């Protein structure tokens, strides 16, 4: 059963678009980024991610900061419905 989560990313000033684009094109076996948007508010990027398992989701979330520079913080909200 697939696991979905919303990733809320805070970036350094001027890095939001690059982080959003990098997330949207992220390729990792068993993980799909369904949507990644640059937004306003307390977070700079919000992405919807689907993974084949919670372990794969956790590993992919850990990769976010290394995808592109400028990531300060990632909050993961796993969908429970």
pLDDT at 53: 94
Number of domains comprising the chain: 1
Q: What is the mean pLDDT of the chain?
A: 91
Dihedral class, residue 56 (left if φ above 0, else alpha if ψ from -120 to 50, else beta): alpha
Please say if the pLDDT value at position 62 is more than 90: no
The CATH number of residue 34's host domain is 3.30.70.920
In sequence order, the β-bridge partners of residue 73 are: 10
Q: Kindly report, residue by residue over 30-53, the tens digit of the pLDDT.
A: 999 999 999 999 999 999 999 999
Q: How far apart are CA 50 and CA 73, in angstroms?
A: 20
The whole domain housing 52 covers 3-78
* Nearest alpha carbon to residue 44 among 12, 76, 67: 12
DSSP 26: -
Q: What are phi and psi of 43, to 5 degrees?
A: -115, 155
């Amino acid at each position: 059963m697939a696991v979905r989560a919303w990733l809320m990313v805070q970036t350094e000033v001027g890095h939001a678009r690059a982080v959003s684009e990098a997330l949207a094109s992220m390729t990792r076996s068993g993980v799909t980024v369904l949507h990644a948007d640059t937004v306003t508010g307390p977070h700079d990027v919000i992405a919807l991610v689907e993974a084949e398992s919670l372990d794969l989701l956790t590993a992919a979330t850990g990769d976010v900061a290394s995808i592109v520079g400028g990531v300060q913080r990632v909050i993961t909200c796993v969908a429970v419905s």
